[in-house]
Structure 1
Amino acid sequence: MIVDDEEAILLAIDTTLQMAGFNNIITCQDSRRVMDILSGQAIDVMLLDLNMPYIDGERLLDTVTREIPDVPIIIVTGAMDVETAVRCIKSGAFDYIVKPVEEDRLITAINRAISFQELKRENLALKQHILADTLEKPEAFRDIITNNKKMLLIFQYIESIARTSQPVLIRGETGVGKELIANTLHTLSGLKGNFIAVNVAGLDDNVFSDTLFGHVRGAFTGAERVRSGLIEQAAGGTLFMDEIGDLNHASQVKLLRLLQEGEYLPLGQDEPKQTNARIVAATNQNLAELQKAGKFRKDLNYRLRTHRIYIPPLRERLDDIPLLADHFLDEAAHSLKKKKPTPPKELFTLLKNYAFPGNIRELKSMIFDAVSRHKSGILSLEVFRFHIGPEHTSENPSCGEQNADDASPVIFSGKRLPTIKEATELVVAEAMKRADGNQSVAAKMLGISQQALSKRLKKRGQNSG
């Protein structure tokens, strides 16, 4: 909403904002009508002149901030008076701009105010979601197989930020389902445009620019016709960029401009084009560490992480393994046109004691491989054991062992070294604990046969008796 008694200024600001991509603009030349308009119309930002007849801007500022405190008000005035500016800021003004208005300064101020509003809405929505402990649209998450509490909190957060236009950064290890989360975010956003995904790893700057921004005819040798880029295909929708941590410096500068100004330049074109696509990025790297190493721009990192989602690895979601395994058994059987095999009871114990460096994608591959080899009866464990290998069966850091960075295991923490017999008993007891009492799985962890483990357990039982 623009409030100014001069019609020429109203028209000039209105035109400037529309050309910058803003819409739903309300202009008001009579300050007496402002409160009536606000009573029937919600607004995101107000631009307010100070020197006006009837009700001056300072009085109107006090009234609006008192009655509708959530509306950020940007003062736009011809008077460069420091005392007045300080007084307005103390009264609740969001910003203070002096006429004649610089276009970039005005647009930057409005974008800041809108971002501020969206963050406030997000915080409120997130609090309501957490308090309610429910999902408004659980059907949007039907493709994500989970019953994990951490994932439920992430779903609540996704619902709270889905309708904001700000960038979203999704972090997580390879194979945790970052693109699936991005697609769900797009579904919940209500955006009418398409979901367009691109992996930017390994793209040099020219290929990146051509892929995302397109080119005009004659931009380079072989460019015989206009080609629209992915950002244009994502108009009114979502552009998802995976492996953003691998983006080179030149491309980072162009992406920053896209995020800051909503502008991009197709190759060979002098005039920038505007976009309203929402940007969602993903990485399996720590951007803060890349930033410290000089490999990622600090300003781009801050722009991308307005909203942040971290997807935990599968080893931190052990309760999801039976659900996921059952789902992939169904999927594999259907895909391979086989009857769904019955998994052995030892399977889930074996899988829960594996670190899964490839996460959900790795679990899916293991199950598809096992089903493809399956003939009849109960599903064999051999494919899983071969894939995991004896050296990996107890690598899961969430299963109770010490951190890998520690110098020595727990059994060496006392002043006296344990005897070989004592150490062996401790290791056997720990293996049986992690295997939920399953001797076959525990023996695999220890690198011995089940018969050898059974003898040790019997001997220990006799000794204790």
Structure 2
Amino acid sequence: MTKFPTYPVLLVDDEDTWLRSFSLALKSHGIDNILCCNDSAKVPEILATTEIEVMAVDLAMPGLSGQELIDAVSATNPDIPILVITGMSQVETAVQCIKRGAFDFFVKTNDKSSLVSGIRHAIEIRELKRENSSLRTRFLQDTLEHPEAFTPIVTCSKVMRSIFQYIEAIARSTQPVLITGESGVGKELVAKVIHDLSGRQGEFVPVNVAGLDDNIFADTLFGHKKGAFTGADRARPGLVENAKAGTLFLDEIGDLPQASQVKLLRLVQEREYLPIGSDVTRKTDARIIAATNVDPESMGETERFRSDLYYRLRGHHVHLPPLRERLEDLPLLIDHFLRQGCQQRKRPAVPAELLTLLLGYDFPGNIRELQFLILDALSCSGDEELNMDRIKAHVNKHPAAARKVQPGEGTRLQFGPELPTLKHVCAELVREAMRRTGNNQALAASMLGVSRQALNKRLNKLREKEDGQA
């Protein structure tokens, strides 16, 4: 069972009864990684050996007072949020503690739910600070700590690399993740990578919620008791239970009915749910990742989808670009799908026109559509050359998917007041072709309409020129 938060909440009070009651209150709200200390003098020793997420400290303690302890911890461990627990007569002192570095204060006689909310808020702030620090390091150093985790995603795109760096920074967070992007861009693949990097011991449990009515949604996710309804001859645990200590991936979340959205909001917000036919609320530690092909900007504003649920799900947001915005990946993806389809057969040669044809296509179905085109072409190809007939027929059937020509990208080039030299234009064309094909010389030569040998000569001249300038 994965405990929440990752590092323990430290409760410090000399009254054991208060420590027990507050621990129970926290556990009933899903915060179960707790350390209790009834001697404030032992706190420095605990901090020296254990990483602490949040502290809650009572002001009125014998020996080392709460105020002295807060001063000491703020000086040596300024990143740890400290919540001050005070009596009615000590509010002024608590305010002074806030000015000296404490995160917040609560009156001990108040309802414990306010203190639980304060602890949860402090945990969220600590996670955000940790993620921001991780993001800064990764972007400044342009590094990935676990590049092997992204092997299933075939890409050489700089945009995708930035997304990978963001994913590494948020992977261990407990906050929900919303993945957006058009159909076929690989949202479930990315969700699985986030799970693999999270360090969670449980399973990755995917479910497509599109088309599920409220009853089926509740039964699928939350399960039911035996006898809950006609035909329920045995209990069903539900997918939330299957995802304990793991990740629950909800695909096509934008199509969820309103009634189901209310149930999901409770799951996301309170980390609890009610199986059908049960009066006993169950807790979950499953991390929730949701995905939708609905535009994220309109999703939070439309009446069809609850804005409170949308912003809860969007604890972190990953937006995947469509294939037409990462065309530099086309050569790699074509090669990947060819290898995928030729595991039990000889790989046919690829016609030079394939890349040129596909570079002019918009791929409304994205990577999934490209996979279909390549595997479909293989199914009707011999061993010598990839049959292009079905690919051409598919592209010609979808004229609306012809890629929009950008300024200067069509047959008529745009020039400034001074014309570039032919040598300069040729050099830039070669560089652009190599960039678009991921440095694949055969595909770049095909795109430029020259032989591979001719392209190789031009590349050698460019290298000699660059070496001479260096």
TM-score range, shorter chain: 0.7 to 0.9
Which ranges in structure 1 are unaligned for 5 or more consecutive residues? 404-408, 414-432, 440-465
1:446-465: CA deviations, max 9, x gaps?
A: xxxxxxxxxxxxxxxxxxxx
Instruction: Name the aligned partner's letter for residue 50 of structure 2.
Output: Q
> 1:249 is aligned with what amino acid?
Q
> For 1:203 and 1:380, how far apart are their aligned partners in 2?
40
Structure 1 contact 287–296 (Cα < 8 Å) conserved: no
Asked if the contact 2:363–2:401 (Cα under 8 Å) also holds between the matched residues in 1, the reply is no
TM-superposition CA deviations, 1:384-411 (whole Å, max 9, x none): 21111176387324x52599xxxxx999
- Specify the alignment match of 1:136 in structure 2: 145
Correspondence list, 1:50-449, <5 A: 50-79=59-88, 83-334=92-343, 337-389=344-396, 392=399, 395-397=402-404, 399-401=405-407, 436=447
Over the residues paired in the alignment, what is the CA RMSD in angstroms? Answer: 2.5
Superposition TM-score, scaled by structure 2 size = 0.82
User: Which amino acid is 2:259 matched to?
Assistant: A
Asked if the contact 1:215/1:227 (under 8 Å) is kept, the reply is: yes
CA contact (8 A) 2:180 2:292 kept: yes
Query: Larger deviation: 142-151 or 25-34?
Result: 25-34
Matched, 1:28 2:37: yes
1:261 Cα deviation (Å)? 1.2
Residue 250 of structure 2: SS of its match in structure 1? strand
Give distance in 2, aligned partners of 1:350 and 1:80.
Answer: 78
SS of 2:31 mapped into structure 1: coil
What SS does the corresponding residue of 1:281 show, helix, strand or coil? Answer: strand
Question: Which amino acid in 2 is paired with 1:104?
Answer: S
Instruction: Name the aligned partner's letter for residue 195 of structure 2.
Output: H
- SS of 1:215's equivalent? coil
For 1:155 and 1:332, the matched residues in 2 are separated by 27
Deviation of 1:64 after TM superposition, in Å, equals 1.4
C-alpha distance in 2 between matches for 1:390 and 1:203: 33
SS of equivalent to 1:26: strand
**What does the per-residue CA deviation read over 1:239-282, in whole Å, with 9 as the maximum and x for residues that have no partner?**
00001111111111111111111100000111100111110111
Residue 48 of structure 2 corresponds to 39
Tell me if structure 1 keeps the 8 A contact 2:181–2:293: yes
Matches of 1:11 and 1:381, distance apart in 2? 72
State how far apart, in whole Å, the 2-side matches of 1:104 and 1:6 are: 19
TM-score by length of 1: 0.83
C-alpha distance in 1, partners of 2:363/2:256?
Answer: 27
* Aligned mates of 1:357, 1:223 — CA distance in 2: 43
Could you tell me how far 1:36 is from its partner in structure 2?
Answer: 2.5
Q: Which amino acid aligns with 1:383?
A: R
Deviation at 1:344, TM superposition (A): 0.9
Counterpart for residue 11 of structure 2: 2
Deviations 1:387-446 (A, max 9, x none): 11176387324x52599xxxxx999x9xxxxxxxxxxxxxxxxxxx9995559xxxxxxx
Contact 1:193 1:236 in 2 (8 A): yes
**Contact 2:86–2:94, Cα closer than 8 Å, also in 1:** no
Structure 1 CA distance for aligned equivalents of residues 50 and 401 of structure 2: 61
- Indicate if the aligned counterparts of 1:213 and 1:230 stay in contact, CA closer than 8 A: yes
Task: Evaluate the alpha carbon distance shift between residue 180 and residue 251 of structure 1 in structure 2; reply closer, same or farther with a 3 A threshold.
Answer: same
SS at match of 1:258: helix
Counterpart CA distance in 1 for 2:74 and 2:150 is 39
**Superposition misfits of 4+ residues, deviation over 4 angstroms:** 433-439
Alpha-carbon contact 1:80-1:98 (below 8 Å) kept: no
CA contact under 8 A between 2:364 and 2:401: conserved in structure 1? Answer: no
8 Å CA contact 1:350–1:393 kept in 2: the answer is no
Consecutive unaligned residues of structure 2, counting only runs of 5 or more, are 1-9, 415-432, 437-445, 451-470
Q: 1:400 to 1:33 in 2, by over 3 A?
A: same
Q: How far apart, CA to CA, are the structure 2 residues paired with 1:396 and 1:100? A: 66
Give, in whole Å, the separation in 2 of the partners of 1:51 and 1:79. 11
State the Cα distance separating 1:285 from its structure 2 match: 0.6
Contact 1:262 1:275 in 2 (8 A): yes
Identity %: 51
Bigger shift: 207-216 or 294-303?
A: 294-303
> What displacement does 1:351 show?
0.6
CA distance 1:269–1:115, change in 2 (3 Å): same
Paired letter, 2:235: V
Aligned residue pairs, count: 411
Structure 2 residue identity aligned to 1:147: C
Instruction: Determine helix, strand or coil for the equivalent of 2:178.
Output: strand
Describe the SS at the equivalent of 2:109: coil
Output the CA distance in 2 between the equivalents of 1:247 and 1:29: 48
Distance, in Å, in 2 between the alignment partners of 1:390 and 1:11 is: 69
CA displacement, residues 182-213 of structure 1 (integer Å, 9 cap, x when unaligned): 11111111111111000111111111100000
